[in-house]
Structures are given as C-alpha cells and as structure tokens.
Amino acid sequence: MKFSHILTSTVSLLTLGTAVDGHFTRDRNNAVGPNRPFKPLPHSPPRKKVCHVRSHGDSSRDDSDFILSALKKCNRGGKVVFDANKEYTIGTALDLTFLKNIDLEILGRITFTADTDYWQANSFKHTFQNATTFFNLGGEDVNIYGGGTLDGNGQVWYDLYAEDALILRPILFGVIGLHGGTIGPLKLRYSPQWYHLVANSSDVLFDGIDITGYSSSENEAKNTDGWDTYRSSNIVIQNSVINNGDDCVSFKPNSTDILVQNLHCNGSHGISVGSLGQYVGEVDIVKNILVYNISMYNASDMARIKVWPGTSSAMSEDLQGGGGSGAVSNITYDKMYIENVDYAIEITQCYGQKNLTLCNEYPSNLTISDVHIKNIYGTTSDAHDPIVGTIVCSSPDVCSDIYAENIDVESPSGTNDFVCTNVDESLLQVNCTSG
C-alpha cells in the first residue's frame, strides 16, 4: 500500500457522469470506492447555462464583486467557470451559503489577500475552537472541481502567529451548511490554519484534493489540519494527497457516518477522532467512522483518539478545555501503512493534561467503545522507541470494547511494545507493557 497504490485507485470526477440533452450530469455515488458511503449521496441534475468569472488581472484589486455576480447569475442550474491561466484575488469575506444546483469549475488560481487586519476583523467566526473562515460555502447541490488552485497566502499568518498565538487565522475552505455536494479535484495551498472546516453539512464528497503549503521561514505552519468535520454527517473524503503540519483528518464533535479512504498523508498528526470533551456542558458524539487504506509518512500518529479529561487542562496558550461529556463509538481503522510515524496507535483520555495522576483522579466524562483498529504495518520513528503505541484510558469505567489485531509494526530497535492502561488487554493483539 505504497503511494503508487493509492494513486492507481484515484478516479477523476470529470469522467463520472452522463450527458443529458447535451449537458453533463453527475452521479456522486459512482465516484465513491472501494467502500460505499454510509448513506447514498443525492443525485446532481444537469447544468444548463455557463457564466465566466471576470478578473482585474491585478493582484492588488479585489475580484469578489465579479465572483458574486457570476454566482448569482448562474445559480439554480448553471456552471460558473474560473478560466484557466487567470489569476483571481479575493479580499472580501464572502457568504456563499445561498448556492443551489450550481457547479464551480475552477481552472485558474484564486488567492486570498494578505491583509491580516481585515481578515481578523471580517472573517466568519465559528463557535468551535475559535475557528474563522475566509468564506462560507453552503446551500444545496454544489459541485466544485476543475483542478485549479486556492491559495491562502499563509506565510504572513505563520509569521504573525509566532508573535501572537491568540490571533484568529482564517481557514482556507469553509463548507458551512452544505447539503449535497462534490469538492474536487482541486489544489489547496498555504492555508493560514485548517484547510477545511466542514460544519453543519451533510452528503458531501471530497475527491482528488491536493494539499500542501509549508512555511518558508523559521516559523512553522501550525494547526494546518487537512479536514475538520463538525456537526456533520455522511461525509466522504477520498483519493487525496495531504502534506501538512497537523491532523490529516480530524473528526470533531458530532461527526457521524464519515468515510475516509485512499489517502496519502505526510507530516501530519494522523487521522484523529477529536479532540472531544473540551467544553463543560457540551455533549460530543462521534460515531460510525470508517478509515480505510491510508499511507502515513513522517507523522506523530496514525490512528488517534484524543479526549479531554474531566478536569481543566491546557494543551497550549490558545487551546484549553476539559470536563465535557459524550461518546465515541463504532470507529474502524483498517489497512494502514506507516513509515517514520511516532505512534502507530494513540488513544488518550488525558488530552491536554500532563499530570496523569490528576487525570486519573478526574477521569473523562466521555466514553470510548466499539473501536476496531486492524491491519497496520510499517515502522515507527525513534521518538518513543521501544514503544510503538499507547492505548491509555483515564478509567476502565469509560473505556470498553477496544480491539487491535494484525498490528505488524516495528520500532527502529525491532520492538513492537505498547503502553496499555485501564483497558481490556485480552482484546488487544499487541504486546502490552507497563511503559
């Protein structure tokens, strides 16, 4: 399951559909494989008119009015084209949640301005983890494809965040309240923070996304998650390449029926359930998750579940929490290759709390159950040698039915030892040690 294997399974969305009266119609379900979505994805009817987006052709001038004009003209049954070899500049926060039955074919390059003062004041604010977005894309039956580029101009943000960890860095692609849609193929570059926030959405397919954008200075590109799903259901993420500096995919609170398959992740923090239980009074549910056929390189983790304990904790200056409740259930990780990854598996209910005695005294209010991790092979890094993974719960009362099988992973010294705490070790086909 090397990188080349994943590439051969990638399918171009441009071939998935039929012509109806001379107009292309898209069948999202035929695009998904090898595993099927938890629920069928809605059909997308044909588009019958085309609008081309104008551009000033000058990076100092905002093209947002041109973009809005084309979207409104071709909404409800049309296709909007961002032409090849054209540069488009966005310097205005765009509310695009009015879209319905529309395609966006992005062939050129769209760049967001580097006016950090404007974006901190005007980007869209979301309640979860101080997330903000350049734009909110939502509505019903929206397809975005073409292989063009969205550039978040992230370098200025990476440098600014190094000076002030409390600044609000926009997320490059905000999918907010979208019901029925296909995103990809697209190239995403230099996001200031997460690359995708998928919130309050359903029945969305991401296929053929190419993510990369490292810092060119000494200041790292931090918190650049590939996808974060939040209060969303029946989402498919597949056939994509992610080079980033945080979670490749993260299932945030109330993510259900999510399929992730055929990904190449490099430099990430793994594919993560969580973090969950961050906010007192909030009930976080993550269930029905299938992660399949993943290659993970140069990362901190592969399969990861991270839950806050029952007491106040601090991961960093801009990330604190603990005490929330909820449940993680029916989670499957299957068929994964790792290379130079610190932990093959990391399950913790002490996220953000370095004092494990305190964590165990105030165990998590959020339960973990029915977790199946299987068919992992490859090698870990020397970061925790001889340990290749940790499966640690804050109390056996809130952890049950965690299974691990066919875990063929070695550390650089040839060991395959796991730290296992407060879990039923009879269900774990791994070598548990005291740590």
Which residues carry out catalysis? Answer: 269
Query: CB under 8 Å to 396, separation ≥6 — which residues?
Result: 422, 423, 424
Structure tokens at 270: 């793994």
Residue 152 φ/ψ, nearest 5 degrees? -90, 5
Q: What string of DSSP letters covers 114-140?
A: --HHHHHHHSEE-SGGG-EESEEEEEE
What CA–CA distance (Å, rounded) separates 95 from 98?
8
CB contact at 8 A, 100 and 143 = no
What CA–CA distance (Å, rounded) separates 93 from 213?
22
What CA–CA distance (Å, rounded) separates 101 from 135?
19
Q: Strand 232-243 vs strand 399-410: parallel, antiparallel, or unpaired?
A: unpaired
CB contact at 8 A, 361 and 394 = no
Measure the N-to-C terminal CA separation of the chain; round to a whole number of Å: 30
Residue 244 φ/ψ, nearest 5 degrees? -150, -170
Neighbour tally for 218: CB within 10 Å: 8
Structure tokens at 22: 């001379």
What CA–CA distance (Å, rounded) separates 15 from 28?
11
